Structure 1
Amino acid sequence: MARRAETIELAVLGLLHEGPMHGYELRKRLNLMLGWGRVLSYGSLYPTLKKMLRADLIEEETTAVTPVTRRPRIVYRVTEAGHTEFERLMSQVDSTAWEDDNFDIRFAFFGRTDMEIRLRVLEGRRTRLQERLDRVQRELAMTQKEVDQYAAELQRHGVESVEREVRWLSDLINAERNDSQAVTLRKEP
């Protein structure tokens, strides 16, 4: 994925699978999905929507003017090509799938993803975080004497946050595997 623009496209396609939405609703839902640390501006959303319209991934419909709105609203809906693109993006399993910018969005739509793909993405994310954790712990051990108590506390907090996410991912992976085994057992005669 080409980072932010394609991540926004994936999120828009995923949200529009739930039903048509206007730009304000899409932005509100995307900001909830992206989390408190990342806010999506209209300056990022509308160019992405225009690009998606040109690519026939979405279509727009203008609603009637009402006394409340005073102007027509444009409602976006996903097209057949958009459905196909969403499936393609969700089935990609490469390093971008578990990077910080993409993982949360992909995870939000895991319910529409094959179990094998979910497992590969979860395992990739866990491996990436474990590598990051190992590196930070090595660096922390080397710099422990060089930093004041607040910098050390911030480093400790970062390590604990990553450790917590690694445990969470391990629990999710185990649950996926157990669900897979339960399904396999139910299918056997």
Structure 2
Amino acid sequence: MARRADTIELAVLGLLHEGPMHGYELRKRLNLMLGWGRVLSYGSLYPALKKMLRADLIREVAGPASPSSRRPRITYEVTPAGNEHFQRLMAEVGPTAWEDDNFDIRFAFFSSTDMEIRLRVLEGRRSRLQERLARVQGELERTQAEVDRYAAELQRHGVESVEREVRWLSDLIQAEREPRPAPSAPTD
């Protein structure tokens, strides 16, 4: 299972791969990425940034002071070592690549990933969810007579959610495998 700090590191490197950002902007974008149910606090973000600074994955660039403070605004940017580390992380295709939190972050940066790696991650995620679906459906059949209607509805909702994600992943995998038309040559 991926540690939360590793997931934050991947997300920060991915965002900084797009361009430099200050801490407030990073936190705002990370919270959008992580989803409504998981809010990232400054108490989690800044220790991760400090660790990444010590590892030379990112660097601080002091900019002009903000209007409300005399302190210079610190912007973070990815270093060459950070770019290499990000590429290595995105190339990993083991079980942590398709865990719930890590998959979402990796998927957000799929445009930076080779097609074969994307396919392996999508297929791994789909396989993991199909295993989960089989387990939950078995539990649902065994417990349906024992639970009240609300617990049964919650279980049914869980099954439908996983089935929906499996269909979505199957559609993505099919789209990845379809040959893309070559760009047409410009006409004069």
Deviations, residues 76-118 of structure 1 (Å, cap 9, x unaligned) = 0000000000000000010000001200000000001000000
| Equivalence for 1:140 | 140
Equivalent residues of 1:13, 1:82 under 8 A apart: yes
Distance across 2 between alignment mates of 1:172 and 1:34: 21
Give the ranges of 4+ consecutive aligned residues of structure 1 lying more than 6 Å apart after TM superposition: none
Conserved? CA contact 1:58–1:76, under 8 Å: yes
Partner of 1:96: 96
Amino acid of the residue matched to residue 14 of structure 1?
G
Which residues of 2 match residues 1-189 of structure 1 at below 5 A?
A: 2-178=2-178, 181-182=179-180
Q: CA deviation at 1:62?
A: 1.2
Change (3 A) 1:42 1:127: same
Indicate conservation of the 8 Å contact 2:2/2:99, yes or no: no
- Which structure 1 residue ranges, 5 or more long, are not aligned? none
Distance 1:97 1:56 in 2: 24
Alignment partners' CA distance in 1, 2:180 and 2:12: 33
Cα deviation, residue 2, structure 1: 4.5
What is the TM-score with the length of structure 2 in the denominator?
Answer: 0.93
Task: Give how far 1:18 is off.
Answer: 1.2
The one-letter code sitting in structure 2 at the alignment partner of 1:25 is E
8 Å contact kept, 1:3–1:101: no
Q: Specify every segment of 5 or more residues in structure 2 that has no aligned partner in the other structure, as ranges.
A: 183-188
Amino acid across the alignment from 2:162: V
Q: 1 or 2, which has the higher helix percentage?
A: 1
State TM-score, norm by structure 1.
0.93
Q: Secondary structure at the match of 1:145?
A: coil
- Compute the displacement of 1:67 (Å): 3.2
Q: Counterparts of 2:17 and 2:49 in 1: how far apart (Å)?
A: 15
Provide the rounded CA distance (Å) in 1 between the counterparts of 2:66 and 2:148. 61
* Aligned residue identity for 2:137: Q
**Take 1:50 and 1:97, find their aligned partners in 2: how far apart are those partners?**
24
